[in-house]
């Protein structure tokens, strides 16, 4: 009797899990499925789950006859630039907040925490004006250079990790005659590898997906990253409202594969990073 009840419970649990998993994966499946159709196949009614004759030519069309590879190169430039920039600057800024006592420490930390919440939209106009004065509009610089001046959220993540390294190590190194920079670069950084990977992965995913800033700062088609490229690059020539859906879907499929694999292989780091928003462990 009890065994029977347990079996039913187990079946119910698996059924729920599978149902929700199918639901959550459906949009991704739908992008992929539509990327293999012709333009008329997409508007076919009733819609079929799988295309009758898979059109792999959509991918060839996207890779050879669109700007996809240029968009990809621009996105990679943003990712590499921002990852280097934020790993360097945010870790440096986080060090004294985690491991030193100095005047104004609590004030500065509170200020960093509060700027974490300022939406990019709220400060975009003055930034736009600054970059216009510098002559940086329509280039990738407005989206890369700021990363070398520390992102508050990443500073926060670094600080949380640095706190877990015993402070007695710093004191021992001080007695041995190391200065603060040597302690940071030779002692703390090597011990903090996991958080560097976490922030590198999160930053890469973020810039892979970022839409707003490229929309503001970049006008030329050959400077667009994947997001604005996919959004604006597949309009039928001369007709702003007609979209080549099949090609756009092939493009979208190419765009969802990298973050998927990054999540698959770096799941541990991503989960750790997202969870350490300060919840008590």
Partner 1 sequence: MVNRAKGIKENLWAYGFLSPWFVGFLVFTGGPIIASFVLSLTRWNLLGTPEFVGLQNYVSMFSIGSGFVNSLRATLIYTVISVAVAIFSSLFMAVLLNFNVKFLGIFRFCFFVPAVMPSVAMAFAFQLIFHQQMGILNYGLSQIGITAAPNWLNDTFWVWPSLGIVTIFTYSTGQMMLIFSAALKEVPEQLYEACDMEGANFFQRFIHVTIPCISPIILFNVVVGTVNSFNSAFSIIFPLTDGGPANETNVLSLELYNQAFRMFNMGYASAVAVVLFLIVGAVAIVQFRISKNVVNYD
Q: Which residues inside 35-64 make contact with partner 1, applying CB under 8 A?
A: 42-47
Q: In the numeric block, which tokens belong to residue 31?
A: 């992008």
Distance CA 19, CA 238 (A): 43
Rounded least distance, CB 74 to partner 1, Å = 14
- Which of 27, 24, 140, 168 has its CA nearest to residue 78? 140
Rounded least distance, CB 1 to partner 1, Å = 15
Q: Looking only at residues 108 through 137 of this chain, which bind partner 1 when binding is defined by CB under 8 A?
A: 108, 111-115, 117-130, 132
Name the helix (H) or strand (E) containing 239. strand 239-243
179 touches partner 1 by CB under 8 A: yes
Distance CA 198, CA 266 (A): 8
Stretch that binds partner 1, among 54-62, 64-72, 189-197, 267-275 (CB under 8 A): 267-275
Beta carbon nearer to partner 1, 28 or 191: 28
Q: Looking only at residues 142 through 161 of this chain, which bind partner 1 when binding is defined by CB under 8 A?
A: 146, 148-150, 152, 155
| Alpha-carbon distance values, 97 to 100, 151, 186, 270, 277 (Å) | 6, 14, 18, 23, 16
72 touches partner 1 by CB under 8 A: no
73 touches partner 1 by CB under 8 A: no
Please work out the total of residues on this chain that contact partner 1, with binding judged by CB under 8 A: 96
Among 78, 198, 226, 233, binds partner 1 (CB under 8 A): 226
Beta carbons within 10 angstroms of residue 195's beta carbon: 24
Distance CA 250, CA 255 (A): 9
102 touches partner 1 by CB under 8 A: yes
194 touches partner 1 by CB under 8 A: no
């Amino acid at each position: 009797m009890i065994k029977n009840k347990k079996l039913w419970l187990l079946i119910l649990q698996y059924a729920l899990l599978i149902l929700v998993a199918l639901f959550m994966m459906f949009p991704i499946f739908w992008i992929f499925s539509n990327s293999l159709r012709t333009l008329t196949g997409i508007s076919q009614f009733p819609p079929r789950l799988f295309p009758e004759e898979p059109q792999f030519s959509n991918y060839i069309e996207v890779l050879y006859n669109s700007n996809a590879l240029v968009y990809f190169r621009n996105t990679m430039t943003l990712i590499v630039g921002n990852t280097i920039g934020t790993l360097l600057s945010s870790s440096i800024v986080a060090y004294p907040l985690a491991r030193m006592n100095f005047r104004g420490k609590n004030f500065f930390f509170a200020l960093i925490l509060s700027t974490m919440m300022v939406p990019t939209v709220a400060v975009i106009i003055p930034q736009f004006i600054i970059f216009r004065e510098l002559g940086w509009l329509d280039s990738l610089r407005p989206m890369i250079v700021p990363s070398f001046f520390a992102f508050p959220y990443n500073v926060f993540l670094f600080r949380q990790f640095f706190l877990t390294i015993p402070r007695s190590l710093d004191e021992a190194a001080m007695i041995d005659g190391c200065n603060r920079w040597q302690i940071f670069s030779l002692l703390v950084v090597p011990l903090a590898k996991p958080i560097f990977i976490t922030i590198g992965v999160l930053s890469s995913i973020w810039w892979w997906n970022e839409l707003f800033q490229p929309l503001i700062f970049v006008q030329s088609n050959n400077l667009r990253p994947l997001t604005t490229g996919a959004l604006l690059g597949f309009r039928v020539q001369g007709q702003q409202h007609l979209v080549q859906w099949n090609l756009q879907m092939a493009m979208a499929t190419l765009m969802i594969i990298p973050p998927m694999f990054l999540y698959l292989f770096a799941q541990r780091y991503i989960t750790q990073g997202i969870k350490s928003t300060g919840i008590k462990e």
